[in-house]
Amino acid sequence: MKKILTGNKTAAVAAGLALKKGGVIPMYPITPQTEIVEEIAKMKADGELPNTVVKNMDSEFSVMSMAMGAAAVGARVFTATSSQGFLLMHELLYIASGQRHPIVMVNVSRGLSAPITLWSDHNDFLGAMQTGWIMMHAQDNQEVLDMTLMAFKIAEDPRVLLPVLVNMDGYILSFTDEIVDVPDQEIVNKFLGERKSEHTITPDRPTVVGTPVLPEYSYFRTQHHIAARNAMQVIKEVQDEFYGLFGRRYNLLADEFMTSDAEIILVTQGAMSTTAREVVMEMRDDGAKVGLLRLSLIRPWPEEEIRNVLCRAKAVGVVDKNIAPGKGGIMYDEIRGALYPVKDPRPIVSSIIAGLGGNPQTKKKIRAMFEKLAKTTETGEAIVEFNDVEAI
């Protein structure tokens, strides 16, 4: 049924659908995610989640601790956080993935302090790429719902058994109303079923979860990596099954738009991608051969699929709504690395830092990005552009 929902409300609705039969939601508020917590609390108070434990914790660290404890005894777990809260639970992110708990968390991207801000930026969740979580990035509220539902299926698959993060841009998606098609509870039940596991603690199967090890560490960490790589195959299967049941098709490994004959391809992620797609359509009407690659899966890194999309372009611009001070955009080197095996002629890969701290990226600004990239095909030199400030 189509409803008008903000990104936050969508995340709460998705959690309610997935955990209707039972589950645990430990939570803590933080702008711009507080509406998720409020909505879940309202759903619980209205009696819509009779079988779900909903608990206000005393900090995000406690939230992730409780999430791990609940997952260890076999419960389906959902939670949500943002920037500073996400960082507060940073130690536990590694533990949650190392202990192989299929927790699903929605992160509402917000720029990191200092300087303190509330608007959207991708530094928070991209700083946690090494934690061993599976990471997906939504571009609109419908995707927030669909990715959260798919996340449970991917996380609980016995070939994966890893926690999943679904990211959405703060304010741009989280507080903006969009039309969202909310599926019926019966179809969600059919898609997700109940969580079954063989490695959790039950009264007749006492288990030590997360044992101390010495030389065995490298074995377990390697298995962790293999499971994360397995997730790519599982994601393909889950998105096909999702299409069959819900009618919406996703290509999470390489969401490309008009790239097959594109000379200039822009690489974006998050809400900016929907604006960029409109710019691509307008520029195509004017005859420019442009295309868009939207990164929807950050971990595991679909290097081969990305390489296949980008290899024939003349110029590629990686838009980073994040920055690693002292180095540059975080995704810039990931894309350059993905293109390294391509034999000459290789695309000229440039970096564009845009939207730090939520600076709005208008159609005009994105069109300017394409124009700057077009110039690189003439000069043959890659550029590093700061789209919102004048670089010194």
Partner 1 sequence: MNEKDLLEKGYKGIKGIPIIQDPGNSERNSATGLWRIKRPVFNGTQCSKCKLCFMFCPDSAISWSEEGLTFNMNTCKGCMICAEECPQKAISEVDER
198 binds partner 1 (CB under 8 A): yes
- Beta 178-181 vs 2-5: how paired, if at all? antiparallel
Query: Applying CB under 8 A, which part among 136-144, 176-184, 201-209, 355-363 lies near partner 1?
Result: 201-209
Site string for partner 1, 140-179 (x = CB under 8 A): ------------------x--x------------------
Give the shortest CB-287-to-partner 1 separation in angstroms. 53
* Interface map 273-312 toward partner 1 (x if CB under 8 A): ----------------------------------------
Residue 226 binds partner 1, judged by CB under 8 A:
yes
Q: Which residues contact 257 (CB under 8 A, 6 or more apart)?
A: 277, 280, 291, 292, 293, 294
# binding residues, partner 1 (CB under 8 A): 24
**Token pair for 53:** 């434990």
Residue with tokens 């997952």: 71
Q: With CB under 8 A as the contact rule, which of the stretches 138-146, 199-207, 345-353, 354-362 interacts with partner 1?
A: 199-207
The reply on whether position 220 binds partner 1 by CB under 8 A is yes
Given candidates 45, 116, 194, 205, which one binds partner 1 under the rule CB under 8 A? 205
| Residue 219 sits in the site that holds partner 1 (CB under 8 A) | yes
Told to check if 116 binds partner 1 by CB under 8 A, we report no
Options 26-34, 111-119, 219-227, 231-239: segment touching partner 1 (CB under 8 A): 219-227
Burial 208-240 (b: 16+ CB within 10 A, else e): eeeeeeeeeeeeeeeebeebbebbbebbeebbe
Does 363 contact partner 1 by CB under 8 A? no
Buried/exposed 150-160: b ≥16 CB within 10 Å, e otherwise: bbbbbbbbeeb
The four Cα atoms 122, 128, 129, 134 give a dihedral, to 10 degrees, of -100
Is residue 69 involved in binding partner 1 (CB under 8 A)?
no
Q: What is the 3-state secondary structure (H, E, C) of 103-164?
A: CEEEEEECCCCCCCCCCCCCHHHHCCHHHCCEEEECCCHHHHHHHHHHHHHHHHCCCCCCCE
Q: Residue 339, interface with partner 1 (CB under 8 A)?
A: no
- Examine residue 208 and tell whether it contacts partner 1 (CB under 8 A): yes
Distance in angstroms (rounded) separating the CA atoms of residues 33 and 308: 36
Counting contacts by CB under 8 A, is residue 98 touching partner 1?
yes
The tokens describing 200, both together, are: 């959790």
Q: Which residues bind partner 1 (CB under 8 A)?
A: 98-100, 158, 161, 198-199, 205-211, 213, 215-216, 218-220, 223-224, 226-227
